[in-house]
Structure 1
Amino acid sequence: MKTAPQFFRHGPGPFARLFVFALLSCLLIAEDLRFKYFPELRQAIGIVIFPLQKIAYIPTHIYDQIEELIASFYLLEENIKLRERYLKDREQLLKLHALEAENIQLRQLLGAIQQIETNTKAKAVLAEIMYTPRDPFNHKITLNKGSFHDIQLGQAVIDDKGIVGQITRLYPWSSEVTLLTDKNHSVPVQVLRNSLRSVVSGTGKNDELELRYLSVSTDIRQGDLLVTSGIGGVYPPGIPVATVLRIEQDPIDDFAQVISTPVAGVDRNRQVLILSLAQPIPNNSLEMPKN
């Protein structure tokens, strides 16, 4: 009668194995504490197998490099998309800031319109600046309102701060404004503090006006506000024009040189107000466009 073949050979029992391994562990611990042979053996074995470890780690290193390359590619692509989105959002944000600033300036102009119509009975028309000169010696701007919009020569142009200039050329759908700083432009003014009347004139320099032919004994101080006097019928009275910047006195001269700076500025606005005339201005007293 045939017996079934044995697939596994029976060895020592579990307790015998446990005893052998426990004894071996104790011997190794005692040797490591007493004789110190195994650390040197481990170092020798480590030196021998170090190249094998490097070779074994090559596939893992290559896999990590490929993974980092793929991650860098995705990060670069995501970075490009985020940058494009940032530029678009920044453009929209800048537009929003510009609209907000324009909205604030329009509200200020609306308040100026109500104040002017209440105090001076003059009517105001809102106009937009179409062109400002790049030439520092050209002190003229162009507005988008002309004779088609019932604009007349000589009308004063202001912003929410004060006088900007006067319309000196007229076209059907546009008009040209001579700024206060133009050397050929003058405005009758008075000192708000003491009602002293004078005439402020442009010097041809940006942000600089001059009060001419004032005696050295004239009661005028640095920081005085100059407003329109209303003389001449071009500018309604009481509108701010300039602030006295400095007073220069020459001992051998009978007149003081009073330098002031305009309170208004076209470089800060896109919209201005055109005021109606207090009285008609003769056409031959202002520049007209040549045919």
Structure 2
Amino acid sequence: MQATTQPVFFKQGPKPFSLLLIYASLSLTLLVVDVRWQILQPVRETVSVALYPLQWLATAPISAAQQVGDYFVSQTALQRENRKLQDDKLLASSELMRLQALRQENTQLRALLSTRAAHQGKGTLTEVLYNDRDPFTAKLVVDRGESSGVRLGQVVIDPQGVVGQVTRLQPLTAEVTLISNKGHTVPVQVVRNGVRAVLYGLGPENPLEVHWMPLNADIRSDDVLVTSGIDGTYPPGLPVARVKRVDRNAGSAFARISCEPAADIDKHRFLLILDERRDQPARPVEQAAKPARRGAHKEPA
């Protein structure tokens, strides 16, 4: 019996080249039709929805790693920026404090220049270098001395009033004893009624006091005391202190009068040394009484 034979075409199928042409033609046809009429858009949407969980699972580790890296990078950047802002703030604060200090110095210097102009320009501006080493004394050292024409006994003031007096000289510096120094005295006068008195310093951190005033002395709280000028050292009319409290105790012979300085004796950096010379006339010489002659005034017998 003769075996049936089939054509070679059905045994081997289309050749690869033929398949390539068929699939390429089909692809081009689908592309042209999809571009023209968008017939594959629902298919694409359905496939994208179906594949989204797989895409999310595939990209999740990479996204998490990127977020962690971004977090640490942003934290480092924020810390660096915060540190820079803190440094800028400190610099701005220091500059602001310097500007405020310069403004205060400028205001004080203008006030001192106005005060010197009020005294016909007779004065020397000076800067406080440091306080005296002894904490129980009220003294300052300034940067003007004999080479600048400063003399012993000159009065030192600020825009508010009397600060002290030059008590020691060096070629380049001078020592100023403040009116609050213990034992320092200033002849004063009450502006309201002209009553004269002597103001005593009691030491640092202590009020000034007027001593040896009777209980009935006409001095009240808030009275302004100015230099009387009777000693020849302090020019008259300079503000010295303001009466803070008057205690009249019947058990004491004198009133206790506490005062506060008119000047800011422990605040200013710049002061004014007045140059006002007042020649006081010499005290009159007291002549001794001549003894009476014996028998000069005897009555005739």
Shift of 1:137: 1.4
TM-score by length of 2: 0.73
Partner of 1:70, secondary structure, is helix
Partner of 1:267, secondary structure, is coil
Question: Which of 77, 82, 85 is equivalent to 1:74?
Answer: 77
Per-residue CA shift, 1:77-129, capped at 9, x if unaligned? 22223332332232222211111110000000011111123xxxx82111111
TM-score by length of 1: 0.75
- Structure 2's unaligned 5+ residue stretches are 1-13, 44-52, 281-301
Alignment of 1:22-171 (within 5 A): 57-117=60-120, 123-133=122-132, 136-171=135-170
Per-residue CA shift, 1:166-203, capped at 9, x if unaligned? 11111111100111011120000001111110000001
Superposed CA RMSD: 3.1
Counterparts in 2 of 1:54 and 1:212: CA distance versus 1, 3 Å: farther
Partner of 2:207: 208
Shift of 1:165: 0.4
Bigger Cα displacement from structure 2, 160-169 vs 272-281: 272-281
Counterparts in 2 of 1:111 and 1:277: CA distance versus 1, 3 Å: closer
User: Is the 2:221–2:243 Cα contact (8 Å) retained in structure 1?
Assistant: yes
Partner of 2:75, secondary structure, is helix
Bigger Cα displacement from structure 2, 180-189 vs 133-142: 133-142
Amino acid at match of 2:163: V
User: Is the 2:137–2:182 Cα contact (8 Å) retained in structure 1?
Assistant: no
Counterparts in 2 of 1:268 and 1:205: CA distance versus 1, 3 Å: closer
Partner of 2:237: 238
Give the Cα–Cα distance (whole angstroms) in 2 for the partners of residues 55 and 246 of structure 1: 90
Partner of 1:59, secondary structure, is helix
Shift of 1:57: 3.2
Amino acid at match of 2:219: I
Give the Cα–Cα distance (whole angstroms) in 1 for the partners of residues 174 and 240 of structure 2: 21
Shift of 1:56: 5.8
Larger Rg: 2
Give the Cα–Cα distance (whole angstroms) in 1 for the partners of residues 225 and 238 of structure 2: 9
Shift of 1:267: 2.5
Amino acid at match of 1:212: H
Partner of 2:256: 257
Partner of 2:298: none
Partner of 1:40: none
Partner of 2:47: none
User: Is the 2:166–2:177 Cα contact (8 Å) retained in structure 1?
Assistant: yes
Paired residues in the alignment total 245
Give the Cα–Cα distance (whole angstroms) in 2 for the partners of residues 192 and 111 of structure 1: 23
Partner of 1:217: 216
Partner of 2:290: none
- Structure 1's unaligned 5+ residue stretches are 22-48, 282-291
Partner of 1:151, secondary structure, is coil
Per-residue CA shift, 1:182-226, capped at 9, x if unaligned? 112000000111111000000113251000011111111111110
Give the Cα–Cα distance (whole angstroms) in 1 for the partners of residues 222 and 105 of structure 2: 29
Aligned identity (percent) is 37
Bigger Cα displacement from structure 2, 131-140 vs 183-192: 131-140
Give the Cα–Cα distance (whole angstroms) in 1 for the partners of residues 58 and 213 of structure 2: 97
